[in-house]
Structure formats: C-alpha cells, structure tokens
Structure 1
Amino acid sequence: MDTVAIYSRVSTSDQDASRQLHELRDFAEREYPDAEIVEFVDIISGTATDEAEQYQTLRSEIATDGVDAVVVDEISRLSRLGGGEIHDFIQHAIEYDTSVRDREIGLSIDVDGSEVDQAVKQMLASLLGDLAKIEHKQKLRRIRSGIAAAQDAGKWTGRPPTGFTVDEESRLRVDVEAFLRLRAGIERVAAGEDQANVADDIGIATSTLKNAYTNRADLYLYGGADDERLEAAVNEITPLSEPEAIPVTDEERVRQIVRDELQSGRN
C-alpha cells in the first residue's frame, strides 16, 4: 500500500486552518483512494522559536522511503522556510522517488515523469516561491504603513501600558484606579521598599513594576512622556499630586554614598 503524506503550515491566527486540512484530506483520498494518509502539520505562531519540526520530520520520512507522495495546499508556502527551499524540497523528494502534488494550482511533479518535465515543473515551483516571497514582503510593508498612519492619527496600535486602556476609536484612556495604584507602587519602591513585596501588594507582576519604575517613572509620577498619545491621555487626570518619593538613578546613588563617606571622614 502506498503512503501519501499531507503537509500543511497553518497559523495560530488562521481561521481557515481546519478547512485547509479537510480539503487536503479530501484531495489525497480522491487522488490516492487506496493509499494510507499520514499528516504533518506545523503550527506557526510567528515567533523566533518556529522551526518547522513537522516539515523536518516529513523530510526524514521521505529519506527512509516511507512516503510515496506528498500533497501540499500551496507549495509556494515553503519559500517562507528560506531561500531555495522549494527547489531543495522537490530535489529531495525526487531523489527518494517521492512525487509532489500542489492542490491549489494542480501542479504535479511525478517521479515517473521525464527529466525535462521534472525540470520545467521545478522551475515553475521556484518561480511560485519567489512570487510568494515578494507578496509576503508587500503585505508586511502594507501592515507597517497602516500602523504608522494610525499612530500619526493619534491611535494606539499595540498593547497599552499598565494603567491605560484603549477605547473604541483606538485612543488611549487612563484606567484611573490601575494608574494610581502603580504610581503608589513606584513611590514605595523609590522610598526603599522591596520591589517584589510592593508588586505583590498592589497586585501586578514584579517585572511590570520594575519596567515602570525604570523606564516610565516620569509618566506615572508627573504625567510626562515622549509620546504625545500618552501625555494626552494623562492630561485627563492632571494635575497629579506631588510624589511622596522619587526614583534615584544609580549615578545619584553612588554620588550619595561618596558624599556620605566624605562626611563621615570629616566627623
């Protein structure tokens, strides 16, 4: 019995992932009615840890003569694994007498075809990969352009800082209770209290408090920020009261130690 492998790359945000797999199964069962169907699916989250493990497993199965044919939804998607990956994969499959089928465009590279036919179809597959990479880059540029336009219009496009929310028009608004709670936490740390204890007391992560204390103390204590969108949001609750304590930089802390030592020496 022949073994036919289905390979699919689906995104965690792809609403059509189940549909794609269902259509691949139907295609494989229709084209290879007597074959055993095995599936290899990589879930792509967009992080740096995505390593296409199932794709590598599929290549290993091909190398051990465990697969007679591979069916993919769009072979052009392999171009996202790296330059030349489509050509390399097809070469790998042919070397081990494995056919490759593209369901979307009907491309079929069969091991029993002529060398000329295989070469032409490999060139076509590589061209599809190049076009897919160009389309992907254009999509990224459009996304970046859209984000920049939204930011220029005063809209917040990412996750809001602690103590802020985003309204229906994507404008930053202050969550007064959360903002003042974090402000009080910064003051307590500035007064010498332990960050972890303060964070636990006010109900936020220690890393969140540390980041606010180190990088955004001016925002929470005085309402000052380099980003006009943040300043505009904080202006809704100004004037802020004078902070009871303010963060001390490492340089100021060293200077104070030196001053104390000098004063102690004089005494």
Structure 2
Amino acid sequence: MEKGVIFVRVSKREQDYQRQIEDLRVVAQTQSLRIVAEIAEKVSGAKYNQERDGLQELLAMARKREINKVLVQEVSRLGRSTVEVLNVLEELTKLQISVYVQNFGIETLKNGKRNPIAQFMFTLLAEFARMERETLRERILSGMDEARRKGKHLGRPDGSSEDKEAFLKKYPSVVRNLRLGISARKTAKICDTSINTVRKVKDYIS
C-alpha cells in the first residue's frame, strides 16, 4: 500500500482546517492510501516557502523517501508564487512522489511518469492564484489611497503606541535576518515586509 501525507494550510485569519483534513482523508480511503502524516499550517499565503515549517517538514519526509503521494485541496497550498509552487512540484516529481490536488482531481504522476496535462494545469492554477493575490493587494492599496485623499486617518489611533518588545515579537524573521547581517532591503524582500517596518526593527535592535 502506498504511503501518503495530507497537507493543508489556512491563513492566520482563519480558525479551522479540520474540514480540509477530513475531505482529504476520504480521498485517501478511495485511493487505498495509507496516511503516515497530516501536516497542517496556519500561516499567511504570502510567506516564502523557506519560512514555512509545515512545508519544510513535508519536503523533509519526501527527501527521506517516507512517502509516495501528497494530498492537497488546492495547488496554491504549495507556495506563494508560481515559481515556488513549480519548484515544489518539480522536486517532488524528481523524487517520484505524486501530488494529488482534490479540487481539480488531477495528479502529477501516472504510473510513475509525469502527467503533462497536470503539469500544464498546475502552472496555470499557480499563476491564477498569484494574480488573484496581487489584485487583492492592489485593491487594498487603492482603498487606502482613496481614504487618505478623503482625509481619513489610517493606522493606530492618535495617542496610542506599541512598546518595543511587543513590536519585535511580531517580526521574528526580520530580527533574525538583520542580526545575521542581511541588509534591510534584502530582509524586506525575504520576509515579505515593508522596508519601513524593517528599518523600524533595525532601529529597535541597534
């Protein structure tokens, strides 16, 4: 019997990933797949893959040849960008580990060989997910600009403040990169954080 892993992710704003797990358990049963691990992440989809503990755990199992198949609900669970998704799929494919995506019922390998239709669809799906995320970001920024034009105050209420310790706890990866000597601009890119936030962290830890 093949060994598989269920991999799910929800953003920090969501509370429950149990439904995803239960749905994928049903898939595993229909495919006679023995699930050896269920990995659940509660992390923003904007995080880079190297910052995602759950995904790194999945890849570690794959590299140790502990699994034959990965079950996910959507291809976007595997990365924040098209490139990251395809990198994960390529590594798993080279390791002869198939990825099954439930919402489209497609799989990367068929009888141990690449499924070209799946590869093409995954590229399109990953790109659509990236475009959707960028569109949402643009809408938010546009809304903020419109609010500023109308004279509305954005950010913390006047008179409120956040202490240094609480602020630094919110950006542990930024703190870590800066202490390793990585530049503020590169840290902002790696951590997907604004350069102003990184500079503020740098001022606090200097």
TM-score by length of structure 2 reads 0.66
Give the letter for the 2:135 counterpart: Q
Query: Is the Cα contact below 8 Å between 1:90 and 1:100 reproduced in 2?
Result: yes
Which string of whole-angstrom CA distances, capped at 9 and with x for unpartnered residues, describes residues 111-131 of structure 1? 41554xx23321221121111
Which string of whole-angstrom CA distances, capped at 9 and with x for unpartnered residues, describes residues 180-220 of structure 1? xxxxxxxxxxxxxxxxxxxxxxxx95889xxxxxxxxxxxx
CA change 1:52–1:158 in 2 (3 A) is same
| d(CA) in 2 for partners of 1:163, 1:76 | 37
Per the alignment, residue 193 of structure 1 pairs with none
Per the alignment, residue 127 of structure 2 pairs with 130
| d(CA) in 2 for partners of 1:144, 1:44 | 22
Which string of whole-angstrom CA distances, capped at 9 and with x for unpartnered residues, describes residues 104-163 of structure 1? 121222241554xx2332122112111111111001001111222233334334321325
Per the alignment, residue 103 of structure 2 pairs with 104
Q: CA deviation at 1:57?
A: 1.6
Per the alignment, residue 55 of structure 1 pairs with 55
What runs of 5+ residues in structure 2 fail to find an aligned partner?
167-206
| d(CA) in 1 for partners of 2:49, 2:119 | 30
CA change 1:65–1:206 in 2 (3 A) is closer
Give the letter for the 1:25 counterpart: R
Which string of whole-angstrom CA distances, capped at 9 and with x for unpartnered residues, describes residues 74-118 of structure 1? 1134340x4422222222222222111001121222241554xx2
CA change 1:100–1:137 in 2 (3 A) is same
Q: CA deviation at 1:42?
A: 2.3
| d(CA) in 2 for partners of 1:43, 1:65 | 25
Task: State the Cα RMSD in Å.
Answer: 3.1
Query: Is the Cα contact below 8 Å between 1:99 and 1:110 reproduced in 2?
Result: yes
- What is the aligned-residue identity percentage? 27
| d(CA) in 2 for partners of 1:38, 1:155 | 49
Q: Whose RCO is larger (CA < 8 A, sep 6+)?
A: 2
CA change 1:158–1:128 in 2 (3 A) is same
Q: How many residues align?
A: 165
| Larger Rg, first or second structure (1 or 2) | 1
What runs of 5+ residues in structure 1 fail to find an aligned partner?
165-203, 209-267
| d(CA) in 1 for partners of 2:120, 2:4 | 24
Q: CA deviation at 1:33?
A: 4.1
Per the alignment, residue 141 of structure 2 pairs with 144
| d(CA) in 1 for partners of 2:99, 2:165 | 49
Per the alignment, residue 6 of structure 2 pairs with 6
Query: Is the Cα contact below 8 Å between 1:9 and 1:44 reproduced in 2?
Result: yes
